Amino acid sequence: MNEPGTDSVLRVEDLKVHFPVKVSLLESVGSVLHALASIARGNRGGTESTHRVVHAVDGISFAIRRGEILGLVGESGCGKTTTGRAVLRLAKPTGGRIFFEGRNIAEMKERELRGLRPRMQIVFQDPHAALNPTMTIGQSIQDPLLIRGGVTEAEAKEKTMHVMEEVGLTPATDLFDKFPADLSGGQKQRAVIGRAIILEPALVVADEPVAMLDMSVRARILELLLNLREKYGITFLLITHDLATAKFMCDRIAIMYLGRIVEIGPAEAIYRDPKHPYTKALITAIPIPEPGRQRRITLPRGEVPDAVSPPAGCRFHPRCPVALPTCGWEGRDFISHLEERRLDPTRAQADEGQLGLPEMWRSSGRTAERRQPSHDLFLIFVASWLVIAGISAVLYAAHLHSLGTYGFPFVGAGLSVPLASMGLALSLVSSLVALNLVWLRSWTEGWGVRVAVVDLLFSGYVALIPVTDAFRGVVALHLLIDGFAVYWLTRPFARLALLRRRRFSATREAAERTRRRLNDVVANAPLPMAQAIEDLHVDADTVTVRFRSPDPLKLKDVGDRQVECLLY
């Protein structure tokens, strides 16, 4: 459990915190059916959607030296608060190691952690919600002392009064018996800070400690935290989305984006010369109080991606103005490009004519694929053919059994034994062909058409006989399904064709038009995306765009800092 040879109060290695996505029973059943349908189409990646998680924190590493203030900066939803809660074990890590004062606490049981709790504390963002409205300020601050034990109530009150003076809650004698509703926002935050330091912790996680306060109060609270660091040597992990606050408070800054740390280094250096494109975007967004001064603002394009399925490679690459072909482009990036092209009506009409609507495309990892919309209908047709052939086989078998056993039929009056036997054989063969059509086995290429034609002719012949009872409806369905069978198995866009020359001549021309349109879309895509495309495949049934694999990505030493970017 112990980790020797370190002066760090906190060291985090490859920390991951994932939260399962809660779904209803109906959604779970739908996911399973979707996965089975994907497998039937030959897409084995279809099962990925059945176990989805939110990648709140996804493999970050950092260390904080004793007495240091490390700022964790990023926009809302990037995983800052989850990181702060995880290093205190208020949130259970999914993976990685957390060393607090040399001990790995990532897998500790709560009973073992209880002895370390006084050494690590947290200041929550909302002081109004952090204080119990039924307890006085004095009771809230001294409560941790009484819970830990070892002191009398008089000693606890004496230390509480001293801490209240330290954090600026003066006069302490007047405020000790006040309730939170009687205090201002700044006073409540001072009370929360006092409660956090009364146990003399080694580490304090300050989660947006001034976000809920007025501008006039913020500076005084930040100065209070600095004074406490100087006086007691407390180590702070400061979570904020305000780079100006981080520059004022922190020795080092870690920039976080979508669960990853993209840059970490000295606060002054990062503010003066940012390296990662996301850090540059954050800093350029800070307003400068100099009227008339012009500067270039490079705001990221688009929206923050979904943390349930974050981008491959660099998390920032879909919004990065200087992305590279090796940054981790995926099929969904190409689909997003198709959606952006719809802003131009002329392009949208041309794209939809050859490539279809963006909703018809599906992405799986590095691949974007559009199948013919008829393929799903083809599967429905095959399933219908299988069901009708099975029902027919059962009825023909019942007809033969009743004739042989009782001398008269219960169903299908008017059918002779030879006709019923032939119908049974055809139904069984049709069932076998339909079952194999789902996977499009090679031997069904010719037999599928032949069986459909023979079955159609036989059903038409049986329909001319005055058949009664249940066979009347079955024969009508047989005619309908067999008619569709002949149509689907001989049409140009089906995988199986009766007239191969006609099929190939038609599909070759259509595929060439689709390929020209696809090349035009790629030519107008962002250059890094276009250069990252590894393969374009067009045939009668599918259009596939496949991207190259991303280069390995990790934090690299760049001068006085570490940066996670392929530019360095």
What average pLDDT does the segment 422-436 reach?
74
Question: In which band, very low, low, confident or very high, does the pLDDT at 400 lie, cut at 50, 70 and 90?
Answer: confident
The pLDDT of residue 201: 94
Residues 523 and 419 reside in one and the same domain: no
The pLDDT of residue 36: 65
Q: How do residues 402-411 score in pLDDT, each as one tens digit?
A: 777 766 665 5
Q: Is residue 187 a contact partner of residue 149, using CB atoms and an 8 Å limit?
A: no
389 in a domain, yes or no?
Answer: yes
Residues 397 and 465 reside in one and the same domain: yes
What mean pLDDT value characterizes the chain?
82
49 in a domain, yes or no?
Answer: no
346 in a domain, yes or no?
Answer: yes
Q: How do residues 35-51 score in pLDDT, each as one tens digit?
A: 666 665 555 444 444 57
CA dihedral sign, ordered 129, 131, 133, 134: positive
Question: In which band, very low, low, confident or very high, does the pLDDT at 496 lie, cut at 50, 70 and 90?
Answer: very low
Q: Is the pLDDT of residue 150 over 90?
A: no
* Burial 83-93, CB ≥16 within 10 A → b, else e: bbbbbbbebeb
| 150 DSSP 8-state letter | S
Number of domain units in the chain: 2
Q: How do residues 67-87 score in pLDDT, each as one tens digit?
A: 999 999 998 889 999 999 999
The pLDDT of residue 539: 80
pTM, entire model: 0.72
Residues 402 and 512 reside in one and the same domain: no
The pLDDT of residue 442: 47
Q: Is residue 135 a contact partner of residue 183, using CB atoms and an 8 Å limit?
A: no
The pLDDT of residue 315: 92
**Gap between the terminal Cα atoms of the chain:** 36
422 in a domain, yes or no?
Answer: yes
What average pLDDT does the segment 530-541 reach?
87
Better-predicted residue by pLDDT, 442 or 35: 35
Residues 381 and 480 reside in one and the same domain: yes
445 in a domain, yes or no?
Answer: yes
What average pLDDT does the segment 423-437 reach?
73
Three-state SS at 510 = helix
What average pLDDT does the segment 19-35 reach?
72
Alpha carbon 30 to its chain's center = 18
Among candidate residues 449, 470, 492, the one where a domain is terminated: 492
Q: How do residues 378-391 score in pLDDT, each as one tens digit?
A: 666 667 777 777 77
Q: What is the DSSP string of 322-390?
A: T--TTS---HHHHHHHHHHHTTSHHHHHHHHHHH--GGGEEEETTEEEEE-THHHHHHHHHHHHHHHHH
Calpha distance 250→71 (Å, rounded): 6
Tell me the residue length of the chain: 568
Residues 381 and 352 reside in one and the same domain: no
Q: Is the pLDDT of residue 497 over 60?
A: no
210 in a domain, yes or no?
Answer: no
The pLDDT of residue 40: 57
176 in a domain, yes or no?
Answer: no
Residues 445 and 391 reside in one and the same domain: yes
Better-predicted residue by pLDDT, 208 or 297: 208
Mention every residue, 6+ apart, whose C-beta is less than 8 A from residue 214: 185, 186
Residues 381 and 363 reside in one and the same domain: no
Calpha distance 17→93 (Å, rounded): 5
338 in a domain, yes or no?
Answer: yes
Residues 470 and 381 reside in one and the same domain: yes
Percent share of the chain, pLDDT over 70:
76
Among candidate residues 427, 457, 492, the one where a domain is terminated: 492
Residues 527 and 433 reside in one and the same domain: no
Q: Is the pLDDT of residue 294 over 90?
A: no
Residues 366 and 511 reside in one and the same domain: yes
Residues 355 and 424 reside in one and the same domain: no
Which range of residues forms the domain containing residue 432? Answer: 374-492
Calpha distance 53→308 (Å, rounded): 6
Question: In which band, very low, low, confident or very high, does the pLDDT at 195 lie, cut at 50, 70 and 90?
Answer: very high
Calpha distance 332→319 (Å, rounded): 13
The pLDDT of residue 48: 47
Residues 338 and 431 reside in one and the same domain: no
